[in-house]
Chain A
Amino acid sequence: MLYRRFFNVPNWGFSKSFREFDRLRSEMDELFGALSSGTLPRLSAGVFPLTNVTEDKENYYVRAELPGIKSNELDIQVTAEGISISGERKIPVEGNNVRYHRREREAGKFSRSINLPGEIDVNKVEASMKNGVLKVTIPKSEAAKPRQITVK
């Protein structure tokens, strides 16, 4: 009994420090894992606006953050391969007698085209602007939709 207690007590200390080391290593793995799996911003075309493209079985969704741009100031063109979004962001002049402390918002023209990986149905594309976020819903063409095959 005495023997066990005598040797176990310092041993707890050792296993604890190893656990600490394990934890550190798993944290490092997580960090590098995050870098490669891409929770950080991935490849970007470097053209304004930055867009996110997602898909489900029926549609592709293209989203872009365009704060302060009204829907009628946007020009969206659809071709067989993809869409292009262009427009101009205007920031009105705020009187003559103003002193600026910060000026970070930018105005100017933009144009962006995105090629989609599959065939799309050009006639049924829908776009909406909500809270400064553009969402374009692009249905996949019938041929490109995945189809469930039942095995007889």
Chain B
Amino acid sequence: MTDKESKEIQVKPKQELTSPAEQTRPGLVFTPNVDIFETDQEITLLADMPGVTADNLSIDLRDNILTLTGEVAPFEDANEEDVLIEYEIGKYHRQFNLSSVIDQSKIDAELNNGVLRLSLPKVEKAMPRRIEVKTG
């Protein structure tokens, strides 16, 4: 692991959301980049949402659909003039379909430096269990 040379990050333009539902408010909507991984106990979701504060982030799980929405305030003051603009800002929005094994009462969310970490623990009965086969 240590001898593995770290590669350089390539520019990945923000992905604009191609939503099936129409927007009712003007503004750009982006899909955040996410990592999702699963262990036997839980599913963890990490999402890059730079500029989003905890107050402006909403996480909603209903009917097995997890919805992440983050609002971003405009970065500049009114009296600033653009010199070079390479990225745009807008709302973040992304939905995931989860299987019904999530224990909704134990969901835990943490926002740190613009990265959301969402822990979705599985319900007890969904955890894999080894079944011993007895020989009679």
Task: Give the interface of A toward B (CB within 8 A).
Answer: 38, 40-57, 60-61, 63, 65-70, 88-89, 91, 93-95, 97-111, 114, 116-117, 129, 131-133, 135
Contact = CB atoms under 8 A, between A and B. Distances in A.
B131 interface: no
Contacts of A94: 37, 44
Contact of A41 (B33, B35, B86): B86
Contacts of B51: 65, 131-133
A132 B50 contact: yes
Given A52-B75, A101-B38, A107-B6, A44 B11 contact: yes
A51 B86 contact: yes
B28 to A, nearest CB: 9
B7 interface: yes
A132 B115 contact: yes
Contacts of B88: 40-41
A146 B101 CA distance: 63
A53 B83 contact: yes
B52 A104 contact: no
B35 A100 contact: yes
Interface string B100-117: 000000000001111100
Contacts, number: 155
B34 interface: yes
Q: Is the interface of B mostly helix, strand, loop or mixed?
A: loop
Contact of B36 (A88, A102, A114, A132): A102
A40 to B, nearest CB: 8
Interface of B: 1, 6-13, 33-40, 44, 46, 48-53, 75-77, 79-88, 111-115
Contact of B77 (A49, A53, A56, A108): A56
Contacts of B34: 102, 104-105
A85 to B, nearest CB: 12
B9 A56 contact: no
B25 to A, nearest CB: 16
Nearest to A100: B37
A113 B47 CA distance: 27
Nearest to A66: B50
Contacts of B38: 98-101
Contacts of B46: 105
A131 B114 contact: yes
B9 A89 contact: yes
A45 B46 CA distance: 28
Contacts of B10: 48, 106, 108
A52 B6 contact: no
A103 B1 CA distance: 18
A45 B50 contact: no
Contacts of A63: 75-76
